[in-house]
Amino acid sequence: MTDWTAHTDRARHWFETLRSRICAEFEAIEREAGSAASFEYAPWKRAAVEGGEAGETGGGTRALMKGEVFEKVGVNVSTVVGALSKDFAGTINGASAEQNAFSATGISLVAHMRNPHVPAVHMNTRFLTTTKAWFGGGADLNPPLPYDEDTAEFHAELKAACDAHGERYYERYKAWADEYFYIPHRKVHRGVGGIFYDHLECADDAAWEANFAFTQAVGEAFLAVFPRLVRRRMGLAFTPADKARQLEWRGRYAEFNLVYDRGTLFGLKTGGNIDAILMSLPPEATWS
């Protein structure tokens, strides 16, 4: 079995660097709005999970900011090594009750905006190993008040990243996002989509480098496009009806993340930090 430790370290370093750049850009936006809000960083260590084994380790840092533009934004990086619980291992690519060792490193971001004209957003990229090694991730836009211009620009940036790395990546991963970010009991999508990919397997070093380069491109695309959308909309006036619409759609977002989101389940099942896992939930939401 390939030792992916050095690859995991490289991926972790990239995710941490990307987090620092994103946080700096979001703080710059707050300054432009006359706000002194900054990210607060809370390191955490991984707790043992039931059914786990000795040698489990890891943790990460939860970065959280509550400001005038970003009502609540979390940018988390975590790296964990250990064993999956026996009952959960069979649901993870390349793992089983008998072969349940794993490692995972990734960045996860969710931003809920104060102005309902500014879209909420999610971005996550990760590298995992079991008996296999693979990358996954994506980004999707969640506007309570959609603008066609913003949707088109967000998708165009992701498409450019995809097109540089795979002939049909955008077509395939956009369709996967449309399927994944859907709330069956509501029969609605949670936003206007983006891309979602998983199990982008690394059979050797060459495949790892290619998949890592694509994952980096997704992160760069997000950092390029989302701040532009924020700056475009953050100064617009909004009405009580606009805010009510935002709070209703935040409820839909919460429903998806608590019922269907794979990342939420993975974090809870592997001894992740509860506050970091649930930072995706909005600060306020309504249900009629």
Q: Which residues are catalytic?
A: 122
Q: How many Cβ atoms are within 10 Å of 5's Cβ, its own excluded? A: 11
Give φ, ψ of 130 to 5 degrees: -135, -120
Distance CA 176, CA 137 (A): 11
CA-CA-CA-CA dihedral for 181, 225, 199, 163, to nearest 10:
110
CA-CA-CA-CA dihedral for 233, 177, 157, 215, to nearest 10:
120
Task: Pull the structure tokens for residue 1.
Answer: 């079995």
Distance CA 126, CA 202 (A): 13
